[in-house]
């Protein structure tokens, strides 16, 4: 994909997180082996959904003042979908459509109503069902029975209830080769950190009907309390009639024992600034806690004046840091060219305790 899409670059020391293996319904669904390591765009055509949100405080987050005005290029504004801020909902599982599957059959298989299945999946139409498509299954209502004693071997295992979160700063960008990026961020308004945060990004036609979708994790393993984490989805060959999009959070779990499992890091001496059409940050990550830090990674998100996410990147800064240790880094993000001047940014450092 590197040769086909030169606008997408990985960090020079791209870190990766362990594979997330979730046993669901007798199948193993393999999470992508790396959270979207870099989003660097050099061509686009449009954006949607505008949000203005105060920046939350959190550990290892630096919030500078605006550094430059937004670009003069006026992006193409597309029709927004009104359901960009999801309500809290139970954590669903995902069904991969097999030959012979129907919407009604899937609903009966998992003990949910057809209406609930269509609602969480953007009002699916039976005629649009495709083999290999991911169908989000809502948790069945209390008292429902799911394949007890059946011969399919499919059971829903208990999962934590999703905590309240919101999606903000979402935008759609069209590349010179016709691909489409959807960028945004998940905001955690809770007083505790969240993990396993997944979003479902859908492209819609002009009738508001979903025509394709992807599920991704946020770029941070743990979204800090009252913090935020970016996400991005690339639709390499989007349908020609895709004119809008929708984003919902389908999973967000409490980060139990977060302070014992994650190191306490701080970003100091930041020197941000515009670097031509890119935006850079030189700074130092310090381990200000009492425990060793494992692989240290930094995620930086950049915004336009409307607080839309125009790009983000994740890099590995150090393989480990002892208490009191520090490591310098230089991180560059290429925002969307329609708004090349960055109005604001957020940088977050993250590391597990080994």
| Proportion of the chain above pLDDT 90, given as a percent | 47
pLDDT at residue 189 in the model: 95
Find the mean pLDDT for residues 37-62.
36
Confidence of residue 81 (pLDDT cuts 50, 70, 90): very low
For residue 166, tell me if it sits in a domain. no
Q: Does the structure show a pLDDT above 80 at 204?
A: yes
The predicted structure's pLDDT at residue 139? 61
Domain that residue 106 falls in: 93-137
Determine the Cα angle at 84 with ends 131 and 344, to 5°.
120
327: in domain: no
**Domain contains 101:** yes
Task: Tell me whether residue 127 is in a domain.
Answer: yes
Question: What's the pLDDT at 280?
Answer: 97
Structure tokens at 2: 């590197």
At 247 the pLDDT is: 94
Rounded Cα distance between 229 and 233, Å, is 14
pLDDT digits (tens, 9 = 90+) for 234-260: 999 999 999 999 999 988 988 888 999
Lowest mean pLDDT among 66-70, 131-135, 219-223: 66-70
Q: What's the pLDDT score for residue 122? A: 63
Instruction: Look at residue 327 in the predicted model and tell me its pLDDT.
Output: 98
What's the mean pLDDT in 302-313? 96
30 has a pLDDT exceeding 50: no
Is 325 contained in some domain? no
Residue of 185, 180, 158 whose CA lies nearest to 344:
185
Examine residue 191 and state whether it is found in any structural domain, yes or no: no
Residue 193 counted as domain residue: no
> pLDDT band at residue 46, thresholds of 50, 70 and 90?
very low
The answer to whether the CB of 349 falls within 8 A of the CB of 267 is: yes
Highest mean pLDDT pick, 62-66, 80-84, 110-114, 314-318: 314-318
Give the Cα separation of 241 and 143 in Å (integer): 41
Q: CB–CB of 332/52 below 8 Å? A: no
CATH number where 106 lies: 3.10.350.10
| Residue with more model confidence, 270 or 138 | 270
Kindly state whether residue 114 falls inside one of the protein's structural domains: yes
Percent of the chain with pLDDT over 70: 64
- Alpha-carbon distance 257 to 118, whole Å? 36
pLDDT tens across 153-201, in order?
Answer: 333 434 444 568 999 999 999 988 889 999 999 999 999 999 989 999 9
Q: Cα 121 to chain center, whole Å?
A: 17
Our count of domains for the chain comes to 1
């Amino acid at each position: 994909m590197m040769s086909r899409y030169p606008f997408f670059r990985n960090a020079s020391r791209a870190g990766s997180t362990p594979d997330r293996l979730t046993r669901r319904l007798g199948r193993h669904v393999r999470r992508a082996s790396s959270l979207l390591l870099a989003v660097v765009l050099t061509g686009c055509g449009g954006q949607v959904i505008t949000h203005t949100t105060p920046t939350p405080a959190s550990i290892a987050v630096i919030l500078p003042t605006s550094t430059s005005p937004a670009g003069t290029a006026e992006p193409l504004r597309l029709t927004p979908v009104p359901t960009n801020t999801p309500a809290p909902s139970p954590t669903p599982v995902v069904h991969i459509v097999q030959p012979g599957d129907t919407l009604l059959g899937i609903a009966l298989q998992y003990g949910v109503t057809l209406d609930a299945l269509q609602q969480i999946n953007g009002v699916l139409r039976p005629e649009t069902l495709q083999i290999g498509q991911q169908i989000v299954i809502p948790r069945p209502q209390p008292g429902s029975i799911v394949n007890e004693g059946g011969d399919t071997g499919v059971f829903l295992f208990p999962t934590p209830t999703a905590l309240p979160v919101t999606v903000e700063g979402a935008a759609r960008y069209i590349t010179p080769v016709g691909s489409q990026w959807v960028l945004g961020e998940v905001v955690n308004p809770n007083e505790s950190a969240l993990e396993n945060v997944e979003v479902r990004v859908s492209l819609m036609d002009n009738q508001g009907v979903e025509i394709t979708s992807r599920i991704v994790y946020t770029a941070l393993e743990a979204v800090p309390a009252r913090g935020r984490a970016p996400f991005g989805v690339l639709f390499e060959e989007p349908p020609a009639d895709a004119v809008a999009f929708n984003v919902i959070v389908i999973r967000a779990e409490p980060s139990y024992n977060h302070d014992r499992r994650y190191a306490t890091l701080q970003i100091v001496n930041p020197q941000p600034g515009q670097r031509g059409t890119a935006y850079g940050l030189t700074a130092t990550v310090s381990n200000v806690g009492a425990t060793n830090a494992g692989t240290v990674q930094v995620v930086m998100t950049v915004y336009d004046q409307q607080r839309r996410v125009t790009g983000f990147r994740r890099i590995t800064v150090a393989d480990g840091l002892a208490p009191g240790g520090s490591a310098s880094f230089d991180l560059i993000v290429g925002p969307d060219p329609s708004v090349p001047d960055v109005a604001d940014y957020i940088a977050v450092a993250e590391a597990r305790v080994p």
